[in-house]
Chains A and B, each alone.
Chain A
Amino acid sequence: MKYRSVFDIIGPIMVGPSSSHTAGAAKIGRLARSIFGRQPQSVHISLYGSFAETYKGHATDVALIGGLLDYEPDDVRLPEAPRYAEEAGMAVTITTEEAVPDHPNTARIRMQDERDNMEIVGISIGGGKVEICELNGFPLQLSGTCPAILIVNEDRFGVVAAVTQLLSREQVNIGNMKVSRKEKGERALMIIETDERMKQPLLDEINQLAGVIRVLRMED
Chain B
Amino acid sequence: MFRNVAELIALTEEHSCSIAEIMIELEMKATDRTREEIRAQMGRNLDVMEQAVERGLAGVKSHSGLTGGDAVKLKAYMNSGRGLSGDTLLDAVCKAIATNEVNAAMGMICATPTAGSAGVVPGTLFALREKLNPSRDEMIDYLFTSGAFGLVAANNASISGAAGGCQAEVGTASGMAAASIVALAGGTPKQSAQGMAIALKNLLGLVCDPVAGLVEVPCVKRNAMGAAVAMMAADMALAGIESVIPCDEVIDAMYRIGQTMPVALKETAQGGLAATPTGEKLKKQIMQ
A→B interface (CB under 8 Å): 1-23, 49-50, 53-59, 74, 76, 79, 103-105, 124-128
- For residue A8, which residues in chain B have a CB less than 8 angstroms away from its CB? 151, 154
Smallest CB gap from B117: residue in A: A19
Cα A58 to Cα B26 in complex, Å, equals 33
Known: A16-B106, A56-B213. A9 touches B147 (CB 8 A): yes
B interface, size bucket: 35 or more
Given the known A-B contacts A10-B143, A18-B116, are A59 and B106 also in contact in the complex, defined by CB atoms under 8 Å? yes
In the complex, whether B253 has a CB less than 8 A from a CB of chain A is no
Determine chain A's interface SS by DSSP, over half rule.
mixed
Whether B162 and A50, one on each chain, are in contact in the complex, defined by CB atoms closer than 8 angstroms, is yes
Partner of A57, one of B26, B146, B215: B215
Residues of chain B with a CB closer than 8 A to A57's CB: 64, 210, 212-216, 269, 286
Bound-state CA distance A166–B269 (Å) is: 51
- Interchain CB contact (< 8 A) of B107 among A15, A54, A58: A15
Bound CA span A76–B26, Å: 32
Please give me the residue from chain B that is nearest to A22 by CB atom. Answer: B115
Q: Which residues from B are CB-within-8-Å of A59?
A: 106
Which residues of chain B (100-156) have a CB below 8 Å from chain A? 102-116, 118, 121, 143-144, 146-148, 150-151, 154-155
Given contacts A104-B266, A126-B158, contact A9 B112 (CB under 8 A): yes
Asked if B27 and A6 sit within 8 Å, CB to CB, the answer is: yes
Q: Quick check: A128 and B111 within 8 Å, CB to CB?
A: yes
Is B114 in contact with A53, judged by CB distance below 8 angstroms?
A: no
B215–A6 touching, CB < 8 Å: no
Q: Which residues from chain A contact B78 at a C-beta distance below 8 Å?
A: none
* Contact status A11-B163, CB under 8 Å: no
**In the assembled complex, how far is the CB of residue B171 from the closest CB belonging to chain A, in whole angstroms?**
13
Is B213's CB under 8 angstroms from A14's CB? no
Known: A9-B150, A17-B106, A57-B212. A128 touches B114 (CB 8 A): yes
Inter-chain CA distance A77–B64, complex, in Å, is 19
Complex: A12 Cα to B263 Cα, angstroms:
27
Taking the nearest CB of chain A, how far is it from the CB of B31, in angstroms? 6
When C-beta atoms are compared, the residue in chain A nearest to B172 turns out to be A9
